Structures are given as structure tokens and as C-alpha cells.
Amino acid sequence: MTDPAGQQTARNERQISPTAPGDLRYWLALHHAPGVGVAAFHQLLQQFGSPQAAFESGAGAFSTGRWRRQTLDYLAAPDWQAVDAELAWARQPDNHVITFRDPRYPALLREIADPPPLLYLHGNPAALSALQLAIVGSRNPTPGGVDTAHDFARFLAGAGLAICSGLALGVDAASHRGALAGGGMTIAVMGTGLDRVYPARHRDLAHQIANNGALVSEFRLGTAPRPENFPRRNRLISGLSLGTLVIEAGISSGSLVTARLAAEQGREVFAIPGSIHNPLAKGCHLLIRQGAKLVENAGDVLEELGPLAGVAAANLPRQDVVEPTPEFSGPENIVLKHLGFEALSIDTLVAKSGMAPEIVSASLVALELLGQVSSAAGGRYCRVHKSR
């Protein structure tokens, strides 16, 4: 007699992984195997044809000189309890496990040197195959950097490009929010398992992203945010995208790793320049010297990606028109004349304006309340880009 519960399980697994009915347990089991990384996983696929065949071949099919004893012991007795827990997760609404042989696996990601054997996804699987632009940058950007990331993402999402980033603080979060504000799609590539959100303060943002795109990770459930995970995460951000745009990055920023990976993957690299006095512009200037395209507006990105993405510059929403700065009288007007979009300290403004420190401080407070200036890290201030 046929087991109805078994039939239902098989139907669910076919729905989760249309390329491997009944085989998804073995994909997950091999993914859990200690000592089997991305390269070894693909080698085993090539050698045996499928993860199931690898397990069924028996330990004798593996060379003890090549595999660690821990790996051989696991292959003889996989952790099926952990595997079944992930299958249960994948049966929940909007959760998916997408194997390398699944037709939903993104074509661009297949092209990189080390594509992950499987992806965990929460949201819409079709988002992975959308034409994407990666936007990355500092976790501690200036207020202007936050605005730039938000505005570029909003414009380009409105033009039809999905925005891919890493859900980190700063530029990543501003890019995701900008794409959502533009009514477009956004993808967050995680450096943890999808059963946790890092940083935790972005839990609501992650929920919005899943509703308008996808959260994706190559890391199995329960994976903590370890430092070594994020360079691996970065290769997926660049690998999913036609190009990578860097906004405010220091010389040691992880965003430069993403840009380097994009170049190695044959993808476009863009960078927005900044003040020579801003340490967060030095990474972008380095990229430009190395051949990245200097970007001043969203149209510069579409000049390069438009032909690839089939997106015309005419589709770009009208860029915001900068409002004229209102006229102020007295010390506020003097402060504004000396304050640009580059963050300056109060001491510098005192020296430039010749006014007393208490007058400069009071003027900055008044201007901040009026939305004309913004405070930055280190007690510095800068003008706010006003648009309509």
C-alpha cells in the first residue's frame, strides 16, 4: 500500500527542487559534510553524477589519502536529523533550497569560478534571475553617502534594475531602502544562515526585502555571522550582478573586495568620487585609478549596463532637481557659506568664519533643525542635499 505521507513528502520535495525529485536530502547532506567545500562538492558531482550516487557508492569509492577521516565518517553516517530540519524549513511558505542543477539557479552566478552548490532563499526565487546592480560601500558613511546610495538605488530600481547588496549597516541598508522606495526589486545576500538576521536591527528591513525580492545565502541554517563568511558572501553579491557600484569606501573596506571580485568575474565596476580630504573616498579613487568607471549620476551606470540589461536611459525616472538654498541672515548665512557637502568640524568652521565657537554651534543647531545641515561622525557637520 502506498504511504500517503510519503507521497506528500515527495510532492513537496519536487516543488522545492524541480531538478532533483527525491534527491534534495542528499544535496543537503553533502552540503553538511565537513571538509567538503565548494570545489570538492563540484568535483564529487562530476565524479559521481549526483550527491545521492556519491553516498551510495560507499566509503571504498573515496581515497583515504584525499579525504579527512572526519569526512569519511560523515559520508558513512550523515546527520539526517540536521538535513530533515532544513527540509522542514524549506517546506514553509516562501522558503526554498535551490540546487546548482535547478533551473531557478541564476545563470550569471553559474558563470563565476566557484558557484555555490546550493542556495537557501526566502522570498521570490525569480528575483535571483532579475538583471541586477550591486551597490556596496561603507558601514559608517557620511550623511551624503547615505543619501547618494538611497537615491541611486531608487532611480535605478525605477528604471528596471534589481538592486543587490549585503544588508549591512550604512550603504547596504540605504541601497535596499532606496530600491524599495523606487518600487523596485532588491536582493540581500546574507553572511549567515537564513534563520537569523544580521545585524538584528535590520529584521524589519529584511522582511520588506523578502516581500519585494529575496534574502539569499549559501550558508546552512544556524550559521553565525563569522568574519570569514563575508568575503564569501561578497563573491555572490558581485556574481549575481551585471556590475558593482561602490559608494564611499576606505582603503581597507570590504567593498573593495566585492569590486575586485566583480572585475575578476568579468563584470562592470563603478565608483563615485568624493573629496580628496574624505577618507571614505580613497577606496573609490583607488578603484577609478584601476579602471573603474567614474560615476556622477545614474545615467552613467545605464550607459554601460543599458545595452546588457535592455534598459534605456529614457526609462530612468527624472532625477531630483536641487532646490535653491534659502537665504538666511546673520551667522547662519555665514556658516552656510563656509560649509559644503564635505563634513567639517566646528573648529574648522570657527577658523573659516572668524566667529566665536558658541555662535557657530548655535547656528549649526538652528540649521540642523531647519533641515539644512546634518551632523556626521566625530562632531562634524555638512550641508544636506535638498531635492524635490
Domains of the chain: 4-88 (no CATH), 125-315 (3.40.50.450), 331-383 (1.10.10.10)
Cα–Cα separations (whole angstroms), residue 332 to 134, 229, 328, 380: 39, 48, 6, 16
Per-residue burial over 29-56, b = 16 or more CB atoms within 10 Å of its CB, e = otherwise: bbbbbeebebebbeebbeebebbbebbe
Which of 209, 159, 211 is CA-nearest to residue 182? 159
Is the dihedral angle over the CA atoms 271, 276, 280, 283 positive or is it negative? positive
The pLDDT of residue 368 is: 82
Question: Quick check: 8 pLDDT over 70?
Answer: no
Q: What is the pLDDT of residue 314?
A: 47
| Cα-to-chain-centroid distance, residue 116 | 16
Burial class (CB in 10 A: 0-12, 13-18, 19+), 64: exposed
**Structure confidence at residue 310 as a pLDDT band (50, 70, 90):** low
Q: Which long-range contacts (CB under 8 A, 24 or more apart) does 282-289 make?
A: 282/249, 282/250, 282/251, 283/246, 283/248, 283/249, 283/250, 283/251, 283/253, 283/255, 283/256, 284/246, 284/247, 284/248, 284/249, 286/251, 286/256, 287/246, 287/249, 287/256, 287/259
Q: What is the CA radius of gyration of the chain?
A: 25
Alpha-carbon span 33 to 348, nearest angstrom? 58
Q: Which of 34-38, 81-85, 371-375 has the lowest mean pLDDT?
A: 371-375
Residue 239 CA to residue 235 CA, distance in Å, equals: 6
Report helix angle 203-211 to 171-181, nearest 10.
40
Round to whole Å and give the CA distance between 310 and 242: 12
Cell of 66: 584525499
Give CA–CA dist 112/272, Å, rounded.
25
Among 117-126, 191-200, 265-274, 330-339, where is mean pLDDT lowest? 330-339
Mean pLDDT of 29-43: 94
Grid cell listed for 159: 528604471
Per-residue pLDDT tens digits for 105-119: 999 999 999 999 999
Tell me the residue type at 92: Q
Query: How far is 247 from 284, CA to CA, in rounded Å?
Result: 7
Residue 190, pLDDT > 90, answer yes
93 vs 9, residue with greater confidence: 93
Provide φ and ψ at 135, rounded to 5°.
Answer: -125, 120
For 58-62, 81-85, 234-238, 274-278, which range has the lowest pLDDT when averaged over its residues? 58-62
Residue 320 pLDDT greater than 70, yes or no: no
229 close to 191: Cβ distance less than 8 angstroms: yes
Mean pLDDT of the 150-163 span: 95
Mean pLDDT for 249-271 is 96
Residue 374 has pLDDT above 90, yes or no: no
pLDDT of the residue at 311: 55
Number of helices (H), then strands (E), belonging to the chain: the values are 17, 12
Closest by CA position to 244, among listed 178, 177, 152, 159: 152
pTM: 0.81
pLDDT tens for each residue of 193-215: 999 999 999 999 999 999 999 99
Phi, psi of 165 (to 5 degrees): -155, -170
Higher pLDDT, 78 or 381: 78
> What is the pLDDT confidence band of residue 66, given thresholds at 50, 70 and 90?
confident
